Amino acid sequence: MKVCVLMPTYNEMGPLTQTVEAVVQVAPDLDLLIIDDNSPDGTGDLADLLANKHPQLRVLHRQAKQGLGRAYIAGFEWAIENGYDFIVQMDADGSHRPDDLPLVVEAAAENRLVIGSRWVPGGAVLNWPWHRQWISRAGNLYARLTLRSHVKDITAGFRCYPVSFLTGLELELVRAQGYGFQIEMTKLAQDSGVAVEEVPITFVERESGVSKMTYKIIFEAFWLCTKWAFRR
């Protein structure tokens, strides 16, 4: 089973080295692709240095910041072209613990989307302020109700896709970013008959850097869910 871990970056100089070193230590048999959106803080250069140290690490440099969704799609296309069987999404800021990576990968199977979930029994969040937890829980509840989905953590970004599912999509038509991207990909999986399995993980608030969450991203997710609900 050939697995590639995708890690988009934009201004992640602070946590990147620690995250990469932990992933390499926990999962030395997995390949890692950093997708950098021309970070002005030098994250891309740091990624290149780490790639020189670790042969399983590659770096995809993009010319400008175009959003999380477009970064992941660029990573999907690269991994598909390079013959991987499964693709893992993972944050570079340390919020997705490398120790949970084997749990997500071990659950991988054809025709199954695996989601590392904060909101199933055994899942947890650490050091998150109450308002972030409220936004996440409320957003997940609204998405589940509007899309009639059973997935508890539909906005989660720590997940594993079978490449056989991704190759059946017109990836250029996926437009959502942030929360909306995760929701749209889950919707496409369920609409395609792909099973969704949630495994409990612990989500940790970043210790350095700045969160990319904005009200614009939250509104995008709300608007997309509402639009999809009316189309059903």
More confident residue, 66 or 118: 118
Percent of the chain with pLDDT over 90: 75
CA distance 71 to 32: 14
Whichever domain contains 221, its CATH number is: 3.90.550.10
The predicted pLDDT at position 134 comes to 87
Count structural domains, the chain. 1
pLDDT digits (tens, 9 = 90+) for 187-210: 999 999 999 999 999 999 866 656
The amino acid at 189: A
CA proximity to 182, closest of 130, 143, 219, 230: 143
What is the domain range of residue 128?
A: 3-231
Query: Which pLDDT band, with edges at 50, 70 and 90, does 232 fall under?
Result: low
pTM of the full structure: 0.92
Query: Which pLDDT band, with edges at 50, 70 and 90, does 223 fall under?
Result: confident
Question: Which uninterrupted H or E stretch holds 47?
Answer: helix 43-53
Q: What sign does the CA torsion over 177, 179, 180, 184 have?
A: positive
